[in-house]
Amino acid sequence: MHTGWSRTPIAGKPADHFEPPGALPFAVLFLHDESGESPAASAAVTAQLQAHRLRCVAPLAGPTWWVDRVSPVFDAALTPERHLLDNVLPWVESTWGIGPRGVAVAGVGMGGHGALRLAFRHPKRVAAAASVCGTLDFHDHYGRGTPLDAMYPSREYARQDTAVLHVGGHDWPANVWFACPPTDPRHRGNDRLHEKLAAVGVPHAADLDAPGTPDDLLAPMFRFLADALARESRRLL
């Protein structure tokens, strides 16, 4: 765990949180990848949070895909999505005094998908959403012996619960950004989301041509989040 991070239980579930010196009145809800590794272990994520003076909370939930389905690796009754909405976001509000328009949600891989999905389903709960190499076709993992097999009765049920299928026609997040290099196997799902958002008319920014690794895309992602949060704070004045 890098300097500045601490671990605390939120509603009995572990979460890592970060508060840099001179923190701005904003926070990032960071959702981890399928590996379950906390951003507290990432020097790259920590450096970006420090550079932009952003607080961060990172709940730990295992390979749950951050969906509104009970997962045996997380809890027998509480879904990961409900944990975020009913416990983690209220913790941010009460601990740091930050309201919904001061909170962004972001992640990489599984966490990137979870961030976009949460924002599409609950656009009023976060000010911005961002994803790096989001695993938007997570239904492709169905049938491979992962917790998804216990969470959904079929691959098609899982597909119907992906972020792409939760894009609404009338209400959407104010700020959306996602990126995935063309050589990454998750690119097609990201391109499909871009096509869907363009067809529906949802404003968003998508970088699907940038080369490099997921770590290379962290800097533009956090720059987008910092700019979006600052813009939202001015809009409320």
What average pLDDT score do residues 200-218 get?
94
Residue 2 pLDDT greater than 70, yes or no? yes
Q: Where are the domains of the chain?
A: 5-235
What average pLDDT score do residues 15-33 get?
97
pTM: 0.96
What average pLDDT score do residues 137-161 get?
96
- What pLDDT band is residue 154 in, cutting at 50, 70 and 90? very high
- What pLDDT band is residue 21 in, cutting at 50, 70 and 90? very high
50-106, pLDDT tens digit by residue? 999 999 999 999 999 999 999 999 999 999 999 999 999 999 999 999 988 899 999
Q: What mean pLDDT, rounded, does the chain reach? A: 95
118-140, pLDDT tens digit by residue? 999 999 999 999 999 999 999 99
For residue 225, the model assigns a pLDDT of 98
CATH, domain range 5-235: 3.40.50.1820
What average pLDDT score do residues 138-161 get?
96
For residue 237, the model assigns a pLDDT of 52
Interacting residues of 57 by C-beta distance below 8 A, sequence separation 6+: 10, 15, 16, 17, 18, 27, 28, 29, 30, 88, 91, 92
